[in-house]
């Protein structure tokens, strides 16, 4: 983990786009909650309900656009176009102190645990 970001990687049996990966897991039960497909900047990612504005479990494809067998499960700030702007504003207004919520606190620790648990749960699905 570096600067409040925890990451785990998984490899699937089949290649998926982020959209087809979401379709494969959307009906499954996860400790982190119900997965969603979220527009984040120019890309889409799979997200789970955020614990707060700074702690959310997310799944991103690893590599170039298209289909891949490698995915990264990570802890990061809440995704979504509205959240990006809001988090940047709060970080500027607090002189960078807002970002410490991603590193310290009960939600930060729980989100790190959820990254580990989600990676294990995805491995058990055998995608």
pLDDT in 10s for each residue of the chain, 127 residues = 444 568 999 999 999 999 999 999 999 999 999 999 998 878 899 999 999 888 999 999 998 778 999 999 999 888 865 555 555 554 555 555 445 555 567 898 999 999 999 999 999 999 9
Provide the domain count of the chain.
1
Q: Is position 1 within any domain?
A: no
Can you give the residue range of the structural domain that contains 103? Answer: 7-125
Asked if 35 and 25 count as a contact pair (C-beta separation under 8 A), the reply is yes
Q: Is residue 31 part of a domain?
A: yes
- Flag whether 2 is in a domain: no
**Alpha carbons 62 and 70: distance in angstroms, whole number:** 5
Q: How far apart are CA 45 and CA 61, in angstroms?
A: 8
pLDDT at 79: 83
| Tally of residues, the chain | 127
- pLDDT for position 98: 47
User: Per residue, what are the HEC states of the chain?
Assistant: CECCECEEEEEEEEEECHHHHHHHHCCCCCCCCCCEEEEECCEEEEECCCCECCEEEEEEECCCCCCEEEEEEEEECCCCHHHHHHHHHHHHHCCCHHHHHHCCCHHHHHHHHHHHHHHHHHHHHCC
pTM of the model: 0.80
Q: Does the residue 110 lie in any domain?
A: yes
Determine, yes or no, domain membership for 101. Answer: yes
């Amino acid at each position: 983990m570096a600067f409040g970001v925890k990451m785990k990687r998984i490899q699937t049996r089949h290649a998926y786009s982020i959209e087809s990966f979401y379709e494969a897991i959307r009906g499954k039960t996860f400790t982190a909650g119900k997965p969603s497909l979220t527009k984040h900047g120019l890309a889409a990612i799979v997200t789970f309900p955020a614990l707060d504005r700074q702690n959310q479990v997310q799944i991103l494809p690893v590599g170039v656009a298209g289909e891949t067998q490698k995915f990264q499960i990570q802890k990061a700030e809440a995704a979504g176009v509205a959240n990006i702007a809001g988090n940047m504003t709060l970080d500027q207004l607090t002189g960078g102190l807002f970002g410490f919520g991603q590193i310290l606190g009960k939600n930060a620790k729980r989100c790190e645990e959820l990254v580990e648990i989600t990676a294990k749960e995805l491995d058990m699905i055998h995608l």
